[in-house]
Chain A
Amino acid sequence: DTGVSQNPRHKITKRGQNVTFRCDPISEHNRLYWYRQTLGQGPEFLTYFQNEAQLEKSRLLSDRFSAERPKGSFSTLEIQRTEQGDSAMYLCASTLEGTEAFFGQGTRLTVV
């Protein structure tokens, strides 16, 4: 499978715990995006990487959220001290410059 891969697909965590999600983009894609999607809404932009550089961050990305792409390949999104409002689908997408973004299946986070 040469598409965008996200792990885990589902995560249930207790409020206050930390969680980390992983995204493996399409191998030749240099750009990687993270989005958050809640029920009935469109995806909301969180952050964007070009290779290993994090170039843009949404104001939605509070200081409890951090994303990395250490070698310009896979990326991780960590949420510290999770809150119930963090419950959402977290989507990763990758693209080459000027082309459409390809999305992974997403990680559904439930904070209880």
Chain B
Amino acid sequence: AQSVAQPEDQVNVAEGNPLTVKCTYSVSGNPYLFWYVQYPNRGLQFLLKYITGDNLVKGSYGFEAEFNKSQTSFHLKKPSALVSDSALYFCAVRAYNNNDMRFGAGTRLTVKP
């Protein structure tokens, strides 16, 4: 069965600095990888996905993520953080032939002015 690990419960960065939120995964076969963001009392909003192709994928709000097959990682990055990026971020994975999408426990990102 597939699984996701987000090793950091919390990430703190200063506004304007680059940010990275880490994600590693385990899946049989080719992975479909996703990042979602959740604001308080809201559902999950899709940020970006990796299905195939370029290892660097770009998504909403200036976020990007790099797929690294050898390290089974899919870290979320942004060159310059904004205070409004403060939220809960979830990485998710499913196998290409499986509809069970598994989520990590989430990483709370706090961007300080």
Contact = CB atoms under 8 A, between A and B. Distances in A.
A12 to B, nearest CB: 15
B49 interface: yes
Contacts, number: 53
Contact of A43 (B45, B99, B103): B103
Interface in A50-76: 50, 55-56, 58
Given A42-B90, A100-B34, A105-B43, A55 B105 contact: no
Given A40-B105, A42-B106, A105 B42 contact: yes
A42 B104 contact: yes
Contact of B99 (A4, A48, A104): A48
Majority secondary structure, B binding face: strand
B54 interface: no
A91 interface: yes
Given A56-B100, A100-B46, A105-B42, A42 B51 contact: no
Contacts of B46: 100-103
Interface of A: 4, 6, 31, 33, 35, 40-45, 48, 50, 55-56, 58, 91, 93, 98, 100-106
Interface of B: 4, 32, 34, 36, 42-46, 49, 51, 90, 92, 99-106
